[in-house]
């Protein structure tokens, strides 16, 4: 099953959020989507497999 986690970040924090997602989910990571809102804040959607080895 795939799960999605939402994180909020400013531009200068985006690389840290992406690095943490890669370290945390590793090969289970499926997708990272970054969207900017009207105030210049970013929403990062991190999709990963909930079960490893399947």
The average pLDDT across 4-28 equals: 96
* Residue in the structure block whose two tokens are 């497999």: 49
Q: How far apart are CA 48 and CA 27, in angstroms?
A: 9
C-alpha triplet 25, 22, 10: angle, nearest 5°: 120
Regarding beta strands 41-49 and 29-36, do their DSSP bridges make them parallel or antiparallel, or are they unpaired? antiparallel
Query: What pLDDT is recorded for position 53?
Result: 56
pTM of the model: 0.87
Q: What is the CA radius of gyration of the chain?
A: 12
Across residues 7-22, what is the average pLDDT? 96
What is the chain's mean pLDDT, rounded? 94
Place of tokens 């945390």: 24
What does the pLDDT read at residue 10? 95
């Amino acid at each position: 099953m795939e799960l999605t986690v939402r994180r909020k970040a400013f531009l200068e924090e985006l690389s840290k959020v992406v690095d943490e997602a890669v370290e945390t989910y590793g090969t289970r990571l499926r997708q990272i989507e970054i969207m900017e809102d009207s105030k210049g804040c970013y929403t990062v959607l991190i999709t990963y497999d909930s079960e490893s080895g399947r």
